[in-house]
Structure formats: structure tokens, C-alpha cells
Structure 1
């Protein structure tokens, strides 16, 4: 029994990363306007590719956890660890791509992890939202199972009393 379908979760994932993309785009456009610099369209393509990759990675996580949820073998700490590993691997790769995009060279490892604290926030907000929804869904499922078991127990008690 699932309250939220896989399609709905994937739509929420799409909306989340679309919002992150639009907020990043808005801040970049505002920065370009305030600094009187033109906004390059190639920058827009790079931002879109970055957020599409993040959405793909989280889509895989959603699909995997949803499959495990059907088997009732989901470990929330493993999901959090998975998101942490994706963020720790994804963000330095994204930073390297941005450095390459700007035509610079990676001189120091700190350049790759420089925005780790800021960038990782979106992954952890996503994880908190997903885990909250996921835990709520599991709790509702357990409550429905308990109610069904209570009805069965009452029925068996009535049958035993009537005999």
C-alpha cells in the first residue's frame, strides 16, 4: 500500500530541481544586471546541465528507495549516506566543470570543494523533504495495517465468543 506513487515522487523531484535551477538563474541574472555585465547563454546551458545531472542522480535514488520500500527493506541511514556520497562526489565534479567552463585550471583541491558547504545544502534539503514524505507514508501504512489487524482480532474474538 503506497500513499504516494512513484510518478508523484518523481514529479516532486522534477519540481524541486526546477525551483533550484530557477533560483540560481534569477540570482545570476540579478548579479549580471547589478554588475552591468551581459548574461552569457552558455552559462545558462551549463547551469541547466548541472541541475539535470543532480535531478538524474536523485531520480535514481528515488527509484531505488521506492523499490526497496515495496520490499519493506529501506534503511533511512543508508539513504542519507547515499545522498551524502552523491553530494560529496557530485559537487567537486560540478566545480571542476565550472572551472573548466571559465577557462581556468584546477590549481588546488580546495577549488573543487570550495562551495561544498553551500552546494550540499540543496541535496540535504531534498533529502529532508523526501525522508519526511517517505516516513509519513510508512507511518500511514503501519497505521492502516494495525487497524486491519484490530478488526481481524475483534472478528476472531466475536467468533470465539459465539461458539
Structure 2
């Protein structure tokens, strides 16, 4: 099973859930701004050597964050992230395709998923840009060539 409506925020460069009228809390202020592809992230399936479990949506900021540690990162809405909804299992360290984008990474500072394909690392709620560590996630998206994440 997979859930659509995951989007890249053009302001903070993180992955957020765009399926609710409220667009969460962006660390740049206001709500997130959907840009580019509509991602389809597998959910509620077992992990594999190339798909990591424990990713969740934060009920406060709407970011996708890693919920596998006791600390819950830094939510732009204040405090740590609050796990809500489904359990996501994004693929990693596999080849990109015309409908699967590479360069999505875990931020060591806020625990959110962000796009690491630009020199500009976006805006992290912990201050500065996001800090990539760990796997290189390859996220499936709806096939729409006109909706690519823009190149800076």
C-alpha cells in the first residue's frame, strides 16, 4: 500500500504531507509550500535491506520524520515531532528511475526527510541548513514530467 500527497516544500526543502488543508509549520514561517512531484511513499509494509521502517508524519508540522530513536528530533511547531498516522517504509540505496527520485536524506539535526540534491540545504528547525546522514532514499512519485523539483 502507498500514500500519495507527499510533497517537497520549496521553502525548507523537506518532505511534507500535503493531503490536509492545513500545511503544517514550516521553519521559514507559515505553512509549507508544495513544489514539484507528488510522491507516493509505501506504508505499513515490512522493511527490507533497501527499505527502512519507522518513518512517520508529524501531526504538528506535517513533515516526514524518522521515529526510530527515543528523541523525536526538532519540530518547527515546537518541541519534538509527534508521530501520527501510518508507518512509512521509504526505499533507499537503489537506482533512480523516471518515477523515483534520488537524493532524499535524513537530517541529523531535525530527523526529517529532506532533498539533498541542491547546494542549498534548505532551512532546518535546529538552525542553518539540513545535515545529510545515512541512506540515500529513492522516493517514488507520480509520473508528471512538468512537476519536477525545480533546479536552483
Task: Select the structure that is richer in helix.
Answer: 1
Q: Same fold (TM over 0.5)?
A: no
Q: TM-score, normalised by structure 1?
A: 0.24
Task: Select the structure that is richer in strand.
Answer: 2
Larger radius of gyration: 1
